[in-house]
């Protein structure tokens, strides 16, 4: 009886850690905010805003990046100011 309980407890711990590992491998959640003039994509990971992409109806898409990349520890909600950044070259 005790061996069965220990085996069941070990199985529960193993499955719980596998589920946690699986969740950590998930990609970011994307929130899409559609407007008349632009569409905003917010990329969230572990409850933190990681990236904002803005796609205007007219013009090129751009990203909002923190003014000082060393502050906020990657969470854009903690940044004091976000500046637009365009992709100039892709290959």
Tens place of pLDDT per residue across the chain (91 aa): 454 444 545 545 555 544 444 445 567 799 999 999 999 999 888 888 888 999 999 999 999 888 776 555 567 777 778 888 888 888 8
Q: Which is nearest to 40 in space by CA: 26, 30, 50, 29?
A: 30
DSSP state for residue 36 in the 8-state scheme: S
Task: Give the per-residue pLDDT at 73.
Answer: 59
In whole angstroms, give the CA distance from residue 29 to residue 74. Answer: 15
Instruction: List the 38-45 sheet strands across, edge first.
Output: 29-34, 38-45, 48-56, 62-66, 82-86
CATH topology for 28-86 is 2.20.130
Strands 82-86 and 38-45: unpaired
């Amino acid at each position: 009886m005790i061996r069965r309980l220990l085996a069941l407890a070990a199985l529960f711990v193993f499955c719980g850690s596998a589920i946690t590992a699986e969740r950590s491998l998930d990609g970011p959640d994307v929130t899409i905010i559609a407007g008349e003039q632009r569409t905003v994509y917010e990329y969230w990971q572990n409850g933190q805003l990681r990236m904002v992409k803005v796609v205007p109806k007219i013009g090129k898409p751009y990203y909002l990046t923190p003014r000082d990349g060393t502050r906020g520890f990657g969470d854009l909600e903690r940044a004091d100011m976000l500046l637009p950044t365009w992709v100039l070259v892709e290959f």
